[in-house]
Amino acid sequence: MKRTVLATLAALGLSTAAIAQDLTVGYIYPAPVADVGWAKQLDLGREAVEAAYGDRVASVVVDSVPEGPDAARVMNQMVSDGAKFLMLGSFGYMNDGIKLGRKHPDIAMIHASGFKQTDNFGTFTARNYEGFYLAGMAAGMKTQSNVIGLVGAFPIPELVAEVNAITLAAQSVNPDVQVKIVWINTWFDPPKAQEAARALVSQGADVLFSLHQDTPSVVTVAENEGVWVVNTGSDMREYAPTKLLVSVTNDWTDYFVREVV
Amino acid sequence: MTETLTFLLSGTLLAGTPLLIAALGELVTEKSGILNLSVEGMMAVGAIFAFMVVTGGGSYWVALAAGGMAALVVAALFAVVVIFTLANQVAAGLAVGILGLGLAGLIGDPFEAQTVPPMPKLPIPGLAGLPVLGRGLFDHVPVVYLAPVLALATWLMLTRTRLGLLLRSAGENPDAANSIGINVRFVRFCATLYGGFCAGVAGGFISVVSATLWADGIIAGRGWIVVALVVFGTWRAGRIAIGAYLFGLATLSGLLVQTTGVAIPSQLLTSIPYIVTIVAIALLSMNPKLTWLNAPVSLGQPYLPTK
């Protein structure tokens, strides 16, 4: 008990020291901040950080930053403008972030869903596969054609883990379930995501998963075609009022508030 | 199996329609001698204006027309710069295209990730009841049927009418056209506006008819496919129509093959339509008769009329 109290005090002492001076936090999102989607969930984290620390933190936000040279340029700009802490909101910012960290050992970065870390470059990710396991069970129980269709963005480790979780979960409740997946190989092409969704429906899928499609693309197809849909990111009930089975969402607010300290 | 075929047919028409409409507009523009590379931006502007009209309660037809008119304004800017101030068409086209994309994102910000109800379909009586073909080809929104009609009309206009002759002469040999009293710059100006209008309608089709949602970047490179299609179709309306539907079919087949679980890397499948386009253009270009017979000779060259 005593040790816990001491540890807490020490942690508090450290935090106060760290936030005594103003801190500029840079946020980079891969997509526009809309009412829903991945970028929106990250931006809710930024709002929580601002609410928690008030005037002591300043935020710089750039959204719709394509992965690649543009991202590197935005990061460099933020650091030269005085940002000491960066939140890199997309997988493809990883290598540029690590390079930046080597050049500027005094800054710290958190990066979404990557697989490389250094002293000042950390990875944050959720155990999304746990949420998807539950969603997969729901889908496995709900399907009547025994075909579940997945529209995936890119076959990166995180998404592959989710696909595996969905498959294992659906088969745990319904051994006959077959999972079909279409990778569209882009984070952002709503019409293509919809074509993929329709392709899956034509192949008998009666439960669709929208894996990291930031827009309600797949969700609207499901509503129009009358099949169930599971969404990633934000709650998209309003886009498929009768057909949204469940949404797997991320709440980053507490984590961002803790990390910025 | 029948479901798959129905999906392939209807999906191909849906994906090919906006490409075809925009490419036919670009064809007319290029036939007059103007190379407009801002199709991507014009489509984006058309997409957001059409979306705003439907969101505001307007009809789909009004929305498509509004999208066309908005893109026409962007095209007018490009036309003034390249026709009257003789700017380089490639550079100006790229610049205006980027401007259009940015403008669409800016205007569309309050509408980001919103949706609209789908446009009502118009099944063709009699034909829509056919097995497979009925639902695949004859159960669509009216715009889908109009696109091939537009291709036919464009072909007739270019090859069989005086108007087509005017356009082609401006693109082939503007000096000769000028010498017989044709106002080359006026012809080129109108052709560029028409191309912009078509691109806007195509963009509007994507946002309010096929995707039924607005998101910044929704055109996702289709404007560039359109520019490539005009070359792919060797500046002939019929071949452009075939190319547009082939491209739609190739994209869908890639997605469909994935659903069967065949062990081909998805990256390869998603790149097939682009590989097909490159290979086809390369093969066509090997036969100069095919390509350069129809390519406007003065394409991309600024024209200053001599007194």
Distance from CA of B252 to the nearest CA of A (A): 7
Model confidence at A76: pLDDT above 60: yes
Output the pLDDT for position B49. 98
- Does an H or E element contain B90, and which? helix B89-108
Bridge-partner residues for B283, per DSSP?
A: none
What is the Cα B175 distance to its own chain's centre? 29
What is the Cα A74 distance to its own chain's centre? 20
d(CA A233, CA A217): 13
d(CA B18, CA A256): 43
Contact A194 B251 (CB under 8 A): no
> Residue with structure tokens 């997945």?
A150
Contact B259 A203 (CB under 8 A): yes
Domain boundaries, chain B: 2-220
The chain A residue lying nearest B205, using CA atoms, is A191
Contact A239 B115 (CB under 8 A): yes
d(CA B255, CA B278): 20
Under a CB-based contact definition with an 8 Å cutoff, are residues B256 and B8 in contact? yes
d(CA B16, CA B4): 18
pLDDT tens for A226-252 read: 999 999 888 888 888 899 999 998 899
Contact A202 B7 (CB under 8 A): yes
CA dihedral B112, B220, B106, B100 (to 10 degrees): -150
Contact B258 A190 (CB under 8 A): no
Domain annotation for chain A: domains and CATH numbers: 2-125 (3.40.50.2300), 128-249 (3.40.50.2300)
- Does an H or E element contain A108, and which? strand A108-112
pLDDT tens for B77-91 read: 999 999 999 999 999
Chain A contact for B306 (CB, 8 A cutoff): no
CA dihedral B238, B244, B247, B253 (to 10 degrees): -90
Contact B215 A149 (CB under 8 A): no
- Does an H or E element contain A147, and which? strand A147-152
Model confidence at B267: pLDDT above 60: yes
CA dist list (Å): B223 to A199, A226, B226: 23, 31, 5
Which comes out higher in pLDDT, residue A212 or B123? B123
pLDDT tens for A171-210 read: 999 999 999 999 998 878 899 999 999 999 999 999 999 9
Output the pLDDT for position B232. 87
pLDDT tens for A6-34 read: 333 333 333 333 444 579 999 999 888 88
A242: three-class secondary structure by DSSP: coil
Which tokens sit at A11?
Answer: 């942690």
CA dist list (Å): A151 to A143, B21, B210, B237: 16, 28, 18, 35
Distance from CA of A182 to the nearest CA of B (A): 5
Residue A12: Cβ within 10 Å count: 11
Output the pLDDT for position B135. 83
CA dist list (Å): A165 to A129, A137, A160, B146, B182: 6, 9, 9, 46, 69
Output the pLDDT for position A215. 84
Output the pLDDT for position A21. 52
Output the pLDDT for position B80. 97
Output the pLDDT for position A15. 39
Distance from CA of A261 to the nearest CA of B (A): 32
Output the pLDDT for position B113. 84
Distance from CA of B255 to the nearest CA of A (A): 6
CA dist list (Å): B207 to A234, A257, B213: 21, 38, 5
Least CB–CB distance from A32: residue in B112, B210, B221: B112
Burial class (CB in 10 A: 0-12, 13-18, 19+), A69: exposed
The chain A residue lying nearest B208, using CA atoms, is A191
Sign of CA dihedral B26, B29, B35, B39: negative
Under a CB-based contact definition with an 8 Å cutoff, are residues A210 and A135 in contact? no
pLDDT tens for A90-123 read: 989 999 999 999 999 999 999 998 889 999 999 9
